[in-house]
């Protein structure tokens, strides 16, 4: 089975102008909805293609959940006939680390098929459900789904304007013979790119598509945590954060999580021929860069690698 997918970081700004007979007439209400979105097309042999949309609050959990869906498909076959019997919560829980469960209480996920959520948990903006319904009606022409949504709101008597901003954070093209993942690595001061390709070490061996994509999520998570740890270290140095505060305790746990991510990436490197371009991101180095950046810039906690 071949996988060709990408991860979109999205931000919707929904502006509603109230009608004249409304008490807040003349006022414009503004709502913001953020999400990370991946489209997963599953198809093997002569089986029909199944398409799922996965949205989550974090990039790495989105990619990791997609990798588990691929693994489930490869092991058990088509998902659609089994959708009502799948233990979705167990799969979602498996995608989460102990660190994620402890320090991300606002985590959420929604999985869609044909515009309807087949599994969702946690709190997210209902506007995302509307967009997926419009995308399904628009037969997958996602860029024009915003216009469809605005028209639907207008028919319901609401004057809605939608502003949309997105960027591609991950592109993954993976098959049994080889694979390639390209990513944006966002830092407090700049955005860079890197990619890695993987091939089997020996003739006759195959690429584990699930591991190839899961490693991409390891990089995404590791970069995020590295900047958080580095900036926290400098805030402690400057006396902006106490050494034994909750924030510092979280940074210690984040370092432990980074060690786990490094071990998982090393496992991938031991199984395949890996080529990085320009080079493998080293989390320890990124921590130092983040600490240096924070030393020269007043950094607010909310600026630290916002998902």
pLDDT at 263 over 50: yes
Which pLDDT does position 304 carry in this prediction? 43
Higher pLDDT, 1 or 215: 215
Which letter does DSSP use for residue 163 in this model?
Answer: E
Lowest mean pLDDT among 21-30, 79-88, 128-137: 21-30
Which is more confidently placed, 215 or 245?
Answer: 215
For the chain, the average pLDDT equals 90
Cα separation, 164 vs 127, whole angstroms = 13
Q: What value does the mean pLDDT take over residues 216-223?
A: 96
Split at pLDDT 50, 70, 90, the class of 95 is very high
Task: State residue 142's pLDDT score.
Answer: 85
Going from N- to C-terminal start, the domains of the chain cover 1-173, 175-307
The Cα 90–Cα 47 span in angstroms is 26
pLDDT over threshold 80, residue 188: no
Interval 266-278: pLDDT, tens: 999 999 999 999 9
Tokens representing 86 are: 């799948």
Please give the average per-residue pLDDT across 158-187, as a whole number. 92
Residue % of the chain over a pLDDT of 90: 68
**Looking at residues 64-73, what average pLDDT do you find?**
97
Exposed (0-12), middle (13-18) or buried (19+): which is 239, by Cβ within 10 Å? exposed
β-pair partners for 8: 37, 168
pLDDT at position 46, please?
82
Confidence grade of residue 47 (pLDDT, cut at 50, 70, 90) = confident
Q: Report the predicted TM-score, pTM, of the whole model to 2 decimal places.
A: 0.91
Which of 64-68, 71-75, 245-249 is the least confident region? 245-249
Contacts of residue 67, defined as CB under 8 A and 6 or more positions apart, other chains included, come to 209, 210, 211, 213, 214, 217
Give the pLDDT score at 78: 94
User: Does the structure show a pLDDT above 80 at 140?
Assistant: no
Write down how long the chain is: 307
Confidence of residue 157 (pLDDT cuts 50, 70, 90): confident
What pLDDT is stored for residue 23 in this prediction?
58
In the 8-state DSSP scheme, what is residue 201? S
Strand partners, 167: 9
- Residue 24: pLDDT over 70: no
C-alpha to C-alpha distance for 30 and 122, rounded to whole angstroms: 22
Residue 299 has pLDDT above 60, yes or no: no
């Amino acid at each position: 089975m071949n996988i060709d997918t990408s991860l979109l970081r999205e931000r919707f700004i929904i502006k509603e102008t109230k009608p004249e007979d409304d008490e807040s007439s003349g006022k414009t209400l503004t709502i913001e909805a953020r999400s990370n979105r991946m489209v997963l097309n599953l198809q093997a042999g002569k089986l029909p293609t199944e398409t799922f949309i996965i949205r989550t609050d974090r990039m790495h959990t989105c990619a990791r959940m997609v990798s588990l869906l691929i693994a489930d498909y490869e092991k058990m076959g088509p998902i659609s006939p089994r959708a009502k019997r799948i233990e979705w919560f167990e799969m979602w829980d498996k995608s989460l680390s102990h660190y994620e469960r402890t320090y991300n209480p606002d985590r959420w996920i929604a999985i869609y098929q044909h515009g309807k959520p087949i599994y969702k948990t946690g709190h997210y903006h209902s506007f995302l459900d509307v967009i997926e319904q419009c995308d399904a009606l628009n037969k997958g022409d996602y860029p024009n789904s915003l216009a469809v949504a605005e028209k639907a709101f207008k028919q319901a008597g609401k004057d809605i304007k939608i502003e949309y901003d997105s960027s591609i954070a991950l592109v993954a093209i993976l098959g049994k013979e080889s694979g390639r993942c390209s990513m944006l690595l966002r830092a407090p001061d700049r955005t860079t790119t890197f990619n890695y390709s993987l091939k089997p070490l020996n003739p006759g061996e195959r690429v584990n598509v699930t591991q190839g994509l899961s490693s991409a999520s390891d990089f995404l998570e590791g970069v995020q945590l590295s900047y958080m740890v580095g900036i926290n270290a400098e805030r402690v140095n400057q006396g902006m954060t106490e050494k034994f505060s909750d924030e510092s305790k979280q940074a210690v746990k984040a370092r432990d999580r980074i060690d786990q991510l490094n071990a998982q990436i090393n496992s991938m490197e031991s199984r395949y021929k890996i080529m990085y371009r320009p080079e493998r991101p080293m989390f320890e180095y990124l921590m130092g860069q983040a600490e240096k950046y924070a030393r020269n810039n007043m950094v607010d906690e909310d600026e630290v690698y916002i998902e």
